Structure 1
C-alpha cells in the first residue's frame, strides 16, 4: 500500500510531478528542481517532509535504552534539543541516521527516514521484548509517524520568516535546539534543523491524516493545510517556494550530506562479522561516542583494527557529464569504486557526486575517472561542501 502525507491532495493539485519515493507518494517538483533549489539557496523554500518517521520513547528507562541502541551520547543535550545519532545492526552497518530529541520528563522523539521507521520500530520492540524476558523495563515505544505532520522551512530568509511567525530568532538557537511554539493556537515543536545545509527550521505537530493506514484513525487534517498555507502566505514577501524531493536531494548533495539507502545502509551480510556500510566507511565517526556500549561497537572496533574495504569521497566533474548512482569509478586505469549519489549542481552548473572508493583514493585532490555511458570522464575528489561556504549555507558571511 502506497503511503500518503496529510496534505497529499494539495500536492497532487499543485505539483507538476508526483511519484512514489520510499513507499510514499510524494511531490518531486512544483515548478522545476532548479528553480526550487535556487529559491532555497538564495531566499526561502518550504518542504512537506511528513513522510519522515517519528518514534517516541517514554519511561524511566528510555534514556538507558536509547544509549544502547544508538551510537551518540543522547544524555548530553538538555531538553528541548536533539542529537544526531546512528542506529546500527550487530555487524556495524547503518540501519538509519536519526535525530533524537530530548523532550523532557523521560520522553524522547526519534526522527528517522521514511523508508526505515517501520524497520526501526520492529527492531526496537524486539530488543525491548528480549530485555523483558530477564528484567523489568519502564519503557513505552510508540510509532507516531502517521499522526505527525512535519514541514521544513529552509534558506537565508527562513530567519525572517521565523521572526514573523513565531517571534523567534533562530540564529539564537544552537543547531538541533528546539522550542515549543504556537501558530494561531496550534501548538508545535520548532527545531533549528534541516537537510539543505542552509539556515532554517522545522516544525512538528499532530494532526489527523486522511490516508492513515489504520481506517479507524483516518480524518480530515484540521491543522496541516492551515499551517502550510499560512507559512506560504507569510513567506510571499520573501519569495517563498514550495519545494519537492527533487530539490531536497540536489541541495543535500551540494552540501555533501549522506542519504540513507545510498551512502548509508545495511546489506544484511549474515555470513560476515562486519556488514556494509559502516559509519567508518561513510565518514560518520563524529556520531560515535566510544565511551559507552552500543549495538555494533564491537564490529566497528574490529573494522578499525583490520582496515576499511572502501571509504566515501566527494568529487566534481572536470569533463562535461552527470554522474549517477551505480556508475563505476576508475583511477590510473583501475576500477576503484562506484558512485552512490550524483547530479548536475543547479548552483554550480557542473556534475558532482559521492562515491565509495578504495581507501587510498579517499582524500581531496585525487584525479579520478567516472564511466558515464561508456566514456571515462575526468573528475577530481574534493572536500565538501561543493559551494563556497562564505557565500552559501547556514554559516555564510552576511
Structure 2
C-alpha cells in the first residue's frame, strides 16, 4: 500500500499549492513546516528537463527571515561565520550559520535589500526563533519576522531565455546571487539569479501570497516555448553536482557537522574584527584538527534507490564515516553518494563498504562534483 501524507492545519501550504495540485503533483515532503512538492509522476522526465531545458519549482517552503531596523546589520554580521563587509544592496551572499559549539545549523542565502533590511532565505530549520532570541538577549533595535515572501524557481539551461522573455534583457546581466525588485504585470517580486542546482536559473520571490496561482500560470504559459514543466528540487542532480543539502548532509539534531568538515572553511573568517556566533569553538576545532571531510562515493552493484539516512560507512568492520544520501545517477549510470569520512582514511582506500540495511555494498571515494 502506498504511503500518503496527511494535509492538516499544522503544516502550511505555499501560495503555489493549488497550482501544483492542478499540475499533477504526486508527492509532498515537509520543509520548514510547509508542504513542498516531491515529484509530478515522472522523475526521469523532470531530471532530463532540468539538465536540458527548464523546470519550474514551488520552493515557497524556502522561507524568508526578515531582519529590519537600525541594528539589522549588527545582528546579521553576528549570526554568520562569513565576513559581510563590502556587501551591497541588491547583493546576495551564501552565509553559513553556526551555534555556539561551531555546529552548522543552517546555510541560507542572505539578501541585502537595504542597509537596515535583510532577508535570510533559509534551509530547513527554525532560524527566525534563533535570530530573534539572540537579538533580544543582545538588546538590539530591530524586528525579526517572516514576511509575505514565497519563492518559486526556474532552473535549467533554458531558464535564461525564459527569464529574458518574462523580464527583459537586463536580467541577462544579473550576477550570480544578485537580485532586483520588480513588478511583473502588477505582481510584486524580487528576482534573483540563484537556485538549488548547478544548471543555472532564477528565483522569483513573490511578495503577495494571494497571487501564487497567477504567477505560476504566467510563468508556465511563457515557458511553453521552451518545454517547461513542473518539478521539484532534484536530489539526483544535487548529488551529481555535489551541492550541500542542510538536513541531508548535516542536521544539528541527528548528525551534526561543522563548516570545515562540510567544505565551507573558506567562509569561516576567524580573523575578522567583529565577533560572531561560534567563533571560539571554530578556532578550537581548527587547533585540535578537523576530524572528517565531505566526499563523494561510488557504490558498487545494482542501482540503489534514494535512502533514508544516515547509513554506516565502514572499513574492516569499523565505523569510519556516515553516508548522508545515496541515489542512482542517470548520467553516470551508477549509484553515488555523499558522505562524511574520517580524515584518517585515504581517498584511495579500497576496503570501504556501506550498510544499506538489507545489503552491504563496496564503496570507493570519488571527487565532488562527480565527473
Q: Structure 2 length normalisation: TM-score?
A: 0.89
2:122 equivalent in structure 1: 112
Are the aligned partners of 1:321 and 1:377 in contact in 2 as well (CA < 8 Å)? no
CA change 1:88–1:96 in 2 (3 A) is same
Over 6 Å off, 4+ runs: none
Matches for 1:231-380 after TM superposition, within 5 Å = 231-245=219-233, 248-267=234-253, 276-292=256-272, 293-322=275-304, 324=307, 325-361=309-345, 363=347, 365-367=348-350, 368-380=352-364
Unpaired runs of 5+ in structure 1? 209-220, 269-274, 388-398
CA displacement at 1:321 relative to structure 2: 3.9
CA change 1:155–1:366 in 2 (3 A) is farther
CA distance in 1, matches of 2:20, 2:313: 38
**Deviating more after overlay: 171-180 vs 91-100:** 171-180
CA change 1:331–1:107 in 2 (3 A) is same
1:4 counterpart = 2:13? yes
CA displacement at 1:43 relative to structure 2: 0.7
CA displacement at 1:362 relative to structure 2: 6.1
1:185 counterpart = 2:194? no
- Give the RMSD, CA atoms, in angstroms: 2.1
1:121 counterpart = 2:128? yes
Give the secondary-structure state (helix, strand or coil) at the position aligned to 2:276. Answer: coil
CA displacement at 1:308 relative to structure 2: 2.9
1:143 equivalent in structure 2: 146
Matches for 1:3-152 after TM superposition, within 5 Å = 3-22=12-31, 23-113=33-123, 115-116=124-125, 119-132=126-139, 137-144=140-147, 147-152=148-153
State the aligned residue count. Answer: 356
Are the aligned partners of 2:40 and 2:230 in contact in 1 as well (CA < 8 Å)? yes
CA distance in 2, matches of 1:357, 1:306: 17
1:229 equivalent in structure 2: 217
Q: Structure 1 length normalisation: TM-score?
A: 0.84
Unpaired runs of 5+ in structure 2? 1-9
Deviations 1:240-287 (A, max 9, x none): 111024xx222222211121122232249xxxxxx9311111111122
Are the aligned partners of 2:128 and 2:146 in contact in 1 as well (CA < 8 Å)? yes
Give the secondary-structure state (helix, strand or coil) at the position aligned to 2:169. Answer: coil
CA distance in 1, matches of 2:362, 2:302: 8
CA distance in 1, matches of 2:25, 2:109: 31
CA displacement at 1:8 relative to structure 2: 1.2
Are the aligned partners of 1:40 and 1:154 in contact in 2 as well (CA < 8 Å)? yes
CA displacement at 1:155 relative to structure 2: 0.5
**Deviating more after overlay: 312-321 vs 185-194:** 312-321
CA distance in 1, matches of 2:356, 2:142: 51
CA distance in 1, matches of 2:303, 2:343: 25
CA distance in 2, matches of 1:16, 1:109: 29
